[in-house]
A = this chain, B = another copy of it.
Amino acid sequence: MKAAILGCTGYTGLVLLRYLLNHPEISEIIPVSSSSVGLSISEYDPGISDKILTKKVKDGLLKSVDDAKKSNPDVVFAALPHLESAKICSDFFESSVIIDLSADFRIEDGELFKKAYGEPHPNPLLQKEAVYGLSEWHGEKIKSAKLIANPGCYPTASLLPLLPLLKENLLKEEIIINALSGISGAGRSAKPNSLFVKRAENANAYNPGTKHRHQIEIKKELDFVTSTETRILFNPHLIPVRRGMVVTTVAKLKTEVNDATIKGIYNKYYANSPFVNILENSIPESGDCIYSNRCDISWQLEGDSIILFSTIDNLVKGASGQAVQNMNIRFGFDETLGLSVNGEL
């Protein structure tokens, strides 16, 4: 199978490339970077070995969008900036399955999109075809999707523990989500705020409350799946790790429950999900799931409240890993093919 990666030189693109180089069902990769066409990937990113690269990438060089079109890929991963993705994706829509890692197709509602991104939706027509790629919840639709909107990292880590409990009508509408993200979440461009000297030995909240785009994506999905009307207060923080995400969520319970109830519910929804890991007697640590496509979940009951704990690797289950998982589902491969369930030490 042939795959193109649009925007191959960002963090998510480079992680995707590594997964596809290892993936047994992918025989050819077209790595696209408009700004670096003709550059050798392994010189540009020496973590990738030329010997491995050239088995699947012709010449080992970065290609143009046109090169990608001509090569007629079965699947196109778009790891492009928001608002740019939607424009390029339409060129591939007729002939390829598209897995879009930007936010362009995550929010169906035009007004909501504008609220979140400050501009009108860049491609409302294509939007209608989009399936929200939260693999554990929309697997059936993903199987036949032509355009998969891969979820954001914060939404993935927030939604997975919340959805079952909301679906079972256990939670009141007001939910406070506190999240910590690794610095790779800010992307690979050279911003003063992403410098080592700025970020090491530093942490802070940013874009809190209802201002953050991911708050809108989370609420939209919660309300869509569970037919509720939640109110989300979302407080993201930056912490000095390269990869990793920790989410601590507080919600009020509608009725009294015990640990067995919660355990039963998570089992009901995730017993067959290879990448969702329910911990019963401990709180997950982000370091345990880095380099893995796993989401670790646990909870603690506190009077009439419940605290939910969840961790992912923001670049894997929060981006490129889930994209590969969605490709696996879409093309009928084993869901875990080419992905790791174990975290690295």
Binding site for B on A (CB under 8 A): 11, 14-15, 18, 21-22, 43, 45-49, 51-52, 176, 178, 180, 183-184, 188, 190-192, 194-206, 208-210, 233, 235, 237, 239-244, 246, 248, 250, 274, 277, 279, 282-292, 294, 296, 300, 302-303, 305, 307, 309, 311, 315, 340-345
Contacts and interface: CB of A to CB of B under 8 A. Distances in A.
Contacts of A210: 302-303
B204 A246 contact: yes
Contacts of A343: 46-48
A28 to B, nearest CB: 17
30 contacts: A14-B345, A46-B279, A46-B284, A46-B296, A47-B343, A47-B345, A49-B277, A52-B341, A176-B176, A188-B195, A190-B190, A190-B195, A194-B195, A197-B242, A200-B201, A201-B241, A201-B243, A201-B290, A202-B241, A204-B283, A205-B248, A205-B283, A206-B283, A209-B300, A209-B302, A209-B307, A233-B250, A233-B302, A235-B307, A240-B241
Contact of A200 (B178, B196, B291): B196
Nearest to A239: B239
A176 B303 CA distance: 13
A23 B277 CA distance: 22
B209 A18 contact: no
B203 A46 contact: no
Nearest to A18: B342
B287 A202 contact: yes
A275 to B, nearest CB: 9
A198 B287 contact: yes
Contact of A49 (B205, B244, B294): B294
A341 B176 CA distance: 33
Nearest to A210: B302
B208 A283 contact: yes
Contact of A195 (B43, B195, B340): B195
B192 A190 contact: yes
A250 B274 contact: no
A253 to B, nearest CB: 13
B239 A201 contact: no
Contacts of A235: 178, 248, 250, 307
The residue among A197, A209, A287 with the most chain B CB atoms within 10 A of its own CB is A197
Given A49-B294, A200-B200, A233-B250, 20 more contacts: A14-B345, A46-B284, A47-B292, A48-B343, A178-B235, A190-B191, A190-B194, A196-B199, A197-B242, A197-B345, A200-B241, A201-B242, A201-B243, A202-B241, A203-B285, A203-B287, A204-B283, A204-B284, A204-B285, A233-B302
Nearest to A290: B201
A47 B208 contact: no
Contacts of A233: 250, 302, 305, 307
A292 B21 CA distance: 14
A219 to B, nearest CB: 13
Given A18-B342, A345-B14, A183 B196 contact: yes
